[in-house]
Structure 1
Amino acid sequence: MTDNRPRILHFICSTGFYGAEKWILALANNIDRDKIESELVVTREPENQDLVLTSAFKSLQLPAFELPMKGRFDFRVIRSLVKLIKERNIDVLHTHGYKSDIVGVIAAKLAGIKCLSTPHGFEKTDDWKLHQFIRLGCQTFRFFDLIVPLSVELCNDVRQYGVAEEKIAYVRNGVDLTSIDFRLPSSNHDGSGRSENMRTIGFIGQLIGRKNVADLLDVFELVAAENPDIKLVLLGDGDAREQYEKHASQLSVHKQVYFEGFQNDPLSYLAGFDLFVMTSTLEGIPRCLMESMAMGVPVAAYDIPGVDQLINHGDTGLLAQLGDKPALAEHWKKLLWDSETADKIAKNAADHINEKFSARRMALEYTELYRQLSAGEIYMAKEAIS
């Protein structure tokens, strides 16, 4: 290894182990360590004592640190972050999320280093105070050296906050294929449209408003009312979990719905799903959807920006218009009981993810961004990658 490798510090105020956390791991695991040094710092907050990301990052034999943070915002952490940046000789601070954007851009400027933000999505909330914090985080984009959204739609969102065009670079999201084993869903089917085992419909993600899990539960009731040999398994946690559990309890098929909470190894569950489903109203490029497609699990979702970059209707999955629950229910049925269609779509989807959305490809593009950003050549990098 050479001594002039750019040293990158990923900074996130983690609330669990979801899309952004997995994205950081995928990038760090696939980037060429002979060219880039990757490190991680996570805030440790009172309500989040189980920082899975820290231990997972260390398992890659990479340095990871935690900074105590009292309450939703503790600006004393800025001083701690500046100190860490200087001690570790960091060249570029890479932030993930509105809170880390606010704290990170200030710390980077004080430390005199370059800073880059990757927006993973914009949360919609009824909490006025939280909404203001998120808005403040978005306003900081103008002060970063580079903003690298995960999707074309997110690029358009970033422009609305007054970010100069030359500061926006688009690098397509990627999934770490090294941890994924492909399998065809019909391995549990007997070819007659019936299954030797109960069909399992699955969802993985945060239980928050924009995931719109209420619609998912309603669609499940439409399907399960006619087909009692299916169950719905939901992995994840969030501030809307109690609301969704109450909604599920009122369904006629509530005994077939299982809220399993947050799981450290969701891929082990995903491997047992016959169908992966989403009913989100807002997404970036959903990682759980990419993982499902890469594993050969057929997928069905609402047709929204971000999701439409992964699913080509009828080819790599099935899409229904946002809010059209009866249409989505019919898609679920087709993928559950038409094994020929399910297998074809699953194979096409896996090929699509391997070709277009691998973390290896994403890491190569970020390697060039990091190198040129640290060398002051970022506008050349943007032109080359766009």
Structure 2
Amino acid sequence: MNKTPHVLQFICSTAFYGAERWILALCRNAAPGSIKYSLAVTQEDNAEELELVKQFKLDGGDTFSPEMKHKFDYGVVSTIAEYCKKHKVDAIHTHGYKSDIIGILAGRKANIPVVVTPHGFENASDIKLRTFIWLGCKALKYADKVVPLSPQLVKDVEGFGITEPQLEYIQNGVDLSEVDNVRNAPAKLSKDKKRIGFIGQMISRKNIDDILDIFDDLAKTRDDIELLLLGDGDERARLEEYSETLNSKKDIHFLGYKDNRLDYLKSFDLFVMTSTLEGIPRCLMEACGMGIPVAAYEIPGVNELVKHQETGLLAELSDKKALTQYWLTLLDDADEANRLSTNANHYVNKHYSAKRMADEYLDLFTRILN
């Protein structure tokens, strides 16, 4: 192309989690003047302006918030297509099931290419959600490019019949400058107990019940630990209700979404995950970047970042007994915890650069548009 490519980042968002932060990292790390990114985020349920939109505006980017009159408002397709025509958008880049369906339809209507980046696939039990996810996966076939974030997501996408050249892999990246700023600054949060923590969406595939069970088991024999859970989601109310049945309930704290989540992350003595399905979790990258030791289940995506006994400790999926022992190791063996967290910090900075990721997406969009 002779002109600077103009790409619309499109997401149907309700909060500020991994996919939203990923969009910011991609746009912030693009080479100056090389590409123009704009942002479209659907406005649903008369919600207030989302943090992603606020941050994008602060960076000087153009934003657009089409209103969704109900959960799936087909009229938004035409609204986005008209926006693309009016603002000379060259391509749409989508994130998430609903965004993929709407974005692909809008791209066809505006006669511009659509790139889909899968951030993970939900193994939901709700039949309505499963149906909607199935439709989103079927929609991938009509994208110009499908670009997963991890090798496991590549395999998942191949299972939907997506192959090269439509399928292309660009390894995930994360902007750790914000993490580094907090890591190198004085601590802002005090504590009087060892702090075990989780940051992320409270949805079924995060399997947070296991975190609660393991913590409750440890709390039977020690009173020097507390559990902090940051984030929100469909499962939060049920999980809070379940935690009230546990003996350790006074030391379990559901904090919801926090603007200063990195200050809380810095205060953790241990970052834990018990997900059953992931891409390469941004929250895990941030924990490694902050130098917080990690214990998790070994599943695809997580094991791309955490190498057992090298950059963290991994138990087989659902092996709560083994994971409990790993929690104890990292809580009580300071030398081992420091060794693993130092290795993890070096690893994430070396292999998951947001600048490298942004450059590869620039090349992708340039090739598509040429």
Task: Give the alignment's TM-score, normalised by structure 2.
Answer: 0.95
Q: Give the corresponding residue for 2:296.
A: 301
| Equivalent position amino acid for 1:310 in 2 | L
Judging changes above 3 Å, is the alpha-carbon distance between structure 1 residues 48 and 130 closer, same or farther for their aligned structure 2 residues? farther
**Cα pair 1:31 1:360 within 8 Å, conserved:** yes
**Aligned counterpart for 1:213 among listed residues 208, 228, 251:** 208
Offset, 1:3: 6.9
Q: Give the corresponding residue for 1:75.
A: 74
Runs of at least 5 residues in structure 1 that lack an aligned partner in the other structure: 189-194, 376-386
Q: Give the corresponding residue for 1:14.
A: 13
**Cα pair 2:183 2:266 within 8 Å, conserved:** no
**Cα pair 2:78 2:109 within 8 Å, conserved:** no
**Aligned counterpart for 1:225 among listed residues 216, 220, 228:** 220
**Cα pair 1:182 1:296 within 8 Å, conserved:** no
Mapped to 2, the partners of 1:42 and 1:234 lie a distance apart of 26
Mapped to 1, the partners of 2:163 and 2:328 lie a distance apart of 46
| Equivalent position amino acid for 1:300 in 2 | A
**Cα pair 2:201 2:232 within 8 Å, conserved:** yes
| Equivalent position amino acid for 1:228 in 2 | D
| Equivalent position amino acid for 2:306 in 1 | I
Q: Give the corresponding residue for 1:42.
A: 41
Q: Residue 264 of structure 1: SS of its match in structure 2?
A: coil
Mapped to 2, the partners of 1:270 and 1:358 lie a distance apart of 20
Q: Give the corresponding residue for 1:32.
A: 31
Judging changes above 3 Å, is the alpha-carbon distance between structure 1 residues 47 and 325 closer, same or farther for their aligned structure 2 residues? farther
Alignment of 1:264-283 (within 5 A): 264-283=259-278
**Cα pair 1:12 1:41 within 8 Å, conserved:** yes
Mapped to 2, the partners of 1:327 and 1:227 lie a distance apart of 18
Judging changes above 3 Å, is the alpha-carbon distance between structure 1 residues 155 and 115 closer, same or farther for their aligned structure 2 residues? same
Q: Residue 167 of structure 1: SS of its match in structure 2?
A: coil
Mapped to 1, the partners of 2:70 and 2:317 lie a distance apart of 36
1:255 aligns with 2:220: no
Q: Residue 40 of structure 1: SS of its match in structure 2?
A: strand
| Equivalent position amino acid for 2:129 in 1 | L
Mapped to 1, the partners of 2:152 and 2:144 lie a distance apart of 20
1:351 aligns with 2:346: yes
Alignment of 1:319-334 (within 5 A): 319-334=314-329
**Cα pair 1:142 1:164 within 8 Å, conserved:** no
1:58 aligns with 2:57: yes
Mapped to 2, the partners of 1:129 and 1:72 lie a distance apart of 12
Q: Give the corresponding residue for 2:178.
A: 179
**Cα pair 1:159 1:165 within 8 Å, conserved:** no
Runs of at least 5 residues in structure 2 that lack an aligned partner in the other structure: none
Q: Give the corresponding residue for 1:192.
A: none
1:166 aligns with 2:161: no
| Equivalent position amino acid for 1:45 in 2 | E
Q: Which runs of 4+ in 1 moved over 3 A?
A: 47-50, 182-185
Q: Residue 271 of structure 1: SS of its match in structure 2?
A: helix
| Equivalent position amino acid for 2:4 in 1 | R
Moved more, 76-85 or 126-135: 126-135
Q: Give the corresponding residue for 1:382.
A: none
**Aligned counterpart for 1:314 among listed residues 286, 302, 309:** 309
Q: Give the corresponding residue for 1:373.
A: 368
Mapped to 1, the partners of 2:35 and 2:108 lie a distance apart of 22
Report % sequence identity.
47
Offset, 1:126: 2.2
**Aligned counterpart for 1:243 among listed residues 219, 238, 243:** 238
1:202 aligns with 2:194: no
Mapped to 2, the partners of 1:41 and 1:261 lie a distance apart of 25
Mapped to 2, the partners of 1:289 and 1:114 lie a distance apart of 32
**Cα pair 2:101 2:136 within 8 Å, conserved:** yes
| Equivalent position amino acid for 1:297 in 2 | I
Q: What is the alpha-carbon root mean square deviation over aligned residues?
A: 1.9
| Equivalent position amino acid for 1:244 in 2 | L
| Equivalent position amino acid for 1:110 in 2 | K
Mapped to 2, the partners of 1:355 and 1:197 lie a distance apart of 34
